[in-house]
Amino acid sequence: MNSDQVTELRKAHITGTMVAYYFICHRKLWLFAKGLNLENISGNADVIKGRILHETRFNRENNKEVAFDTVKIDFLHYNGQVYVHEVKKSKKFEEAHTWQLKYYIYMLQEKGVNCSAGVIHYPSSMRREEVNFSPWDRELLMKALAEIQAVLSKPLPEKKAGRKMCSRCAYFDFCYI
């Protein structure tokens, strides 16, 4: 990807949440990007549990809620290099979580920060997943970001996915009622 394409991606204001939604549901990604953020207003039990976990875990960390550009990282840790930490409710969307964290690592690297790894914490199951960011990941992420831009440029969202996971989504009523 050349520097002009990277500049265009920055102008698209892609967030980590959008990267995660790309790996979960393109319709959800499109709706969220267009300003329909049902997770902040819904009474969805999974959303509420996730918010409580996020607010109550890792309270002693100094670098909580680090934000810049379109990035909002749960917390950072420094041990010779910067490590990105994300807190998630469950491993249900582990691939999406992994790419969201890799996006944060990429954005930090673009700012000149020495960062090539992070950790996803799943406090409910007392698990953590180490994530490393390689040159190959950078290439795959660039392709995903270009595809995200393509999804967002469509005049209408994609059709309903109709998968089992849809019934627990905060966007369910919007898509199915």
pLDDT value at 115 more than 80: yes
pLDDT value at 177 more than 70: no
- Give how far Cα 100 sits from Cα of 71, 106, 129, Å: 10, 10, 13
pLDDT tens for each residue of 18-71: 999 999 999 999 999 998 876 655 555 666 666 666 566 555 556 567 788 888
pLDDT value of position 13 = 86
Are 87 and 53 a contacting pair, CB within 8 Å? yes
Whether domain 3-176 has CATH 3.40.50: the reply is no
Domain boundaries along the sequence of the chain: 3-176
Are 11 and 145 a contacting pair, CB within 8 Å? no
